Every structure is written in structure tokens, then in C-alpha cells.
A and B are shown apart, each in its own frame.
Chain A
Amino acid sequence: MSERVAAAAIPVGEPPDLRRSWGERRALRSTILTAAAWIVAAIASVPLFSVLYMLIVQGGSRLSLDLFTELPPAGFELGGGFGNAIVGTLVMVAIAAVISIPIGILAATYLAELSPDSRLAGTARFLAKVLTGFPSFSPVCLSMRSSCWPWAAIPPWPEAFRLPC
């Protein structure tokens, strides 16, 4: 019924051209903005490659297997590597992960499944967000001055907690 009325309303003859012409101001503006968006996105990905390029150019010539296994050289000596730093990083990250991942996942279970709308969950969620934004020096200050509390465990904590959310 309504189709019939609609059909009758359209005058018979050439259908109007519904395509947008390129020269129209709105279309032109859209095209220009699209090009600009491509350029901006390309610029945004430059830093990553620039950082990689810088690291390879500045450090690539020294790249060898010894670098990963040997200790730093004494003063005025050549050779050596930073094996100790790699081991240290791995050990520290492992300790941090062992402490923070279970707590983070437990907290996330509580926030996502057990009682997502409770007051405790709301506060914890907010503070976890704040904790990610905490300047990294604050735990450092504490660990240097107060105790041997394993502060290394802090940074990955909110990350682990974010995963299941």
C-alpha cells in the first residue's frame, strides 16, 4: 500500500543523479581531511621506526653473542658484555611476576566476577588506575629509604590486573 503511494509520488523520467561530484566543497573537504589523516597516522608511526633505527645504527656494530653472556669490562678495556644486567632483569621481573600476578588476578576476579558493583570493587578499580599513573620514582624512594619491601612487584601489578578485565 505505502509502496504504491511512494511510487506514485516520484515523477516518471530520468532518475536524479545521486552521486556526489568531486568538485563539491563538502566532498573536497572530506577528501582533503582523509589525506591529512593518512599523513598524521604515518607521522605517528615514525617514532617507533626511528627508535629502532637509532638503536641499530648506534649499537648494531657491537652486536655479538659475547654481549649477552659476558660481564661488563673494567675501565679502559674493550670487549665484555652485559650478561649480568640481562640475568638481573630476568630475575627481578620473575620475582615481581610471582608476587604481583596472583594478587592481580585474584583482585581482577573479584572486580569482574564476584561483586563488580560493590564499594570495595569501585574503590579498588579506581585506585588501581591511579596506581598505573603513579610516578615510578615513588616506590623507588620508599625502597631506598624505608625497608626491603619488594617494591619491584608494583609496576606490573595493575597490568596483570588489567588483563582479565
Chain B
Amino acid sequence: MAANAFEGAAPPGAITHPPSSNEYLVDRGFRLLAVCGASLIILLVAYILWKIGGQALPAIYKYNLGFLTSTNWNVAEEKFGILPEIWGTLYSSLMALLVGGFFGLTVAIFLTQDFLPPRVALVFRTIIDMLAAIPSVVFGLWGIFVVIPAIRPIANWLNDSLGWFPFFGTSLSGPGLLPAALVLAIMILPTVAAISQDALHLVPYRTKEAAYGMGATRWEAILKVLVPTAAGGIASAMVLGFGRALGETMALAMLIGNSNRISLSLFAPAQTLASLLASHFPEAGQTEVQALMYAALVLLAITLVVNMMGTAILSVTQRRISGRS
């Protein structure tokens, strides 16, 4: 009986026949197209790197690694350095990650751990996802019209009363690091929340049941069992959110104040790599463009490293959760 399971089936005919050469050809062609599609992604990234690298090459030869440690951006003297920009990029992104990561993770827990009925949770999730659809420029406007006026009194009060504390060292005159970081935090919140939710969904249900069965309260189960189990996925959500924050351009160019200096104060204007490019590129001359391309290359390198870290973390945890080593 097992010898031919299809004995009773219809004889070869209109529907059942070996694939014709035409069908083979279509299949091969489709496979080839799909391979081309996948390869195009790789080629595109390589092309971008090659193009930017090519234009940055004169600047790389000229300024070498000193470019990364110099704080001077002087077009007239053709002296360029991006240390303040690197500092501003990392500082604003880290602040954004602190705030956005906390809120994103809490929202993810809130949406996955039965705080809300499923339908309400879906509505809430849609609201959070809609945040990701707001254009960067609108966030920039929102920062100027709403965030800066809202936090200025608090910031200046903190500066008046706690001015000795390095984080509150200057007053907030308008654009500055804090409003930029807050808006960035809101922009990365949907990313962090969505990926953390996936990670929390990935935790086997019986793990949660077991925690409740041992008599844990809801938050003991969440904080001591669920979050540690999903830690890798959550960490990779943070890394991806961090990556988004690093590359964010328009909102930051509008909010960070574009000032070329290094300050620990949250209220001082600063500059990031992306906002440097956005603000200087339109009027840049030949040599400045080369320097800007070098800066772009540095930013791409930072983005690439951050993404690699995220991917590595994710693959390690997925292996650990699925039980394969």
C-alpha cells in the first residue's frame, strides 16, 4: 500500500503531468529574478559605501584620523574635525535611548501582559505605531512649537537651583540637546516597543504559567521571569532604536541648535553628524563636501557597527530561547 500512495489518483492528464519545459523555464527565471532582487540589496549598500567613500577619499588622505579628534570646523581655513559631532550624536542618541527605551519597554510589557483587553491593546498598539508614521519634519516643528516652550521653564529652574550639577550647567535658550533628545526618544519609541513586544511574545507561555503557579505576583513574574527571558530580544530592540536615533536628520537639525562644541549640559545647543550634513551640505564648496563625505562615512560606520551588535545579540538569544546551542 505504501508503495504507491497515488495509485487511486487520476491518471496523468490535464492537471497531473510532469512540469513542461516551459514551466521549468518560468521557474528558473523566477528564481533568477529573486536572486537578483536579493543581490541588488547588497549591491546597493556596496554602491553607497563606494560612492561616499570615493568622494571622501581626498579628505581621508588630508585629515587622516585627526579628523575624528579635532573640534574645529572652519571652512575658510579648510580645517575640519568632527569630535563635537560624534559626541553630540552619541550623547543625544544615548539620552533618547534612555527615555525612549524605558517608555518603549514599559509599553511593550503593558501591551503583552494582559493589562488591557486584546481589542483595546490593538487600538493602543495602532496609536503607538502611528507615531512611527509621522514625518521627521513634523516632529521637528512639534519640538519647536510644543516641546521647547513646555520644558524651558523647568530647564531654567533646574539651571538656577542646581546649576553646579554638570548636566544642568547652562540655561535653555531655545534649541538644545534636551528637546532634541526628547523628540528623538518619541521617534524611536515605536521601534523599541514593537520589537520588545515580539520578544515578549516569543517567551513560551508555560514559562509565565510556571511563574504564576509558584505564587509570583504579576510584576514579580514580569520583572524576574519574562523580561530576563526576553532580555536578548529587548536588547536588540534597544540597539535598533539606537541605530535609528543615530541616523535621524531633519528633526535634529531643527532642534539641536547646530552649535559646534562639546558640553555635558543637557540644555546647551550641540550638533550631530546627521544635522551637520543637513545644515552644511547645501552650501558646501568642493573641499567642505569632501570633509562632509568623510563625516558621512564615519556615521555609516557607526550605524553599521551598531546594527552588527544588534544582529549578533538577537541571534545569540534566539538560539538560547529555542534551546539549540
Contacts and interface: CB of A to CB of B under 8 A. Distances in A.
A156 to B, nearest CB: 13
Contact of B249 (A27, A136, A145, A146): A136
A110 B106 contact: no
B124 A30 contact: no
Interface stretch (B10-18, B156-164, B216-224): B216-224
A36 to B, nearest CB: 8
A55 B248 CA distance: 22
A30 B38 contact: no
A48 B130 contact: yes
A106 B250 CA distance: 31
B243 interface: yes
A133 B240 contact: yes
A94 B304 CA distance: 29
A107 interface: yes
A104 B307 contact: no
Interface stretch (A65-73, A77-85, A117-125): A117-125
Given A30-B218, A37-B110, A50-B146, A120 B38 contact: yes
Contacts of B104: 44
Interface in B274-310: 274, 277-278, 281, 289, 292-293, 296, 299-300, 303-304, 306-308
Given A124-B39, A124-B42, A131-B41, A137 B281 contact: yes
15 contacts: A26-B217, A37-B110, A48-B131, A54-B141, A106-B37, A107-B40, A114-B34, A127-B42, A129-B311, A133-B243, A136-B249, A137-B274, A137-B277, A137-B278, A161-B41
A110 B34 contact: yes
B134 interface: yes
B220 A26 contact: yes
Interface in B136-181: 136, 138-139, 141-142, 145-146
Interface in B109-151: 109-111, 115, 124, 127-128, 130-131, 134, 136, 138-139, 141-142, 145-146
Classify chain B's interface size. Answer: 35 or more
A125 B241 CA distance: 18
Contact of B219 (A33, A135, A142): A33
A102 B40 CA distance: 12
A108 B304 CA distance: 21
A58 interface: yes
A106 B34 contact: yes
Contact of B303 (A41, A114, A133, A146): A133
A152 interface: no
Contact of B48 (A129, A134, A161): A134
B127 A104 contact: no
B34 A138 contact: no
Interface in B201-244: 217-220, 240, 243-244
B103 A43 contact: yes
Q: Among the interface residues A43, A104, A137, A161, which one has the most CB atoms of the partner chain B within 10 A? A: A137
A85 to B, nearest CB: 12
Given A45-B124, A51-B142, 6 more contacts: A48-B131, A106-B33, A109-B34, A110-B34, A134-B247, A135-B273
A106 B217 CA distance: 48
A134 B293 CA distance: 14
A29 interface: yes
A47 interface: yes
Nearest to B273: A135
A26 B219 CA distance: 9
Contact of A103 (B37, B106, B127, B136): B37
B94 interface: no
A154 B130 contact: no
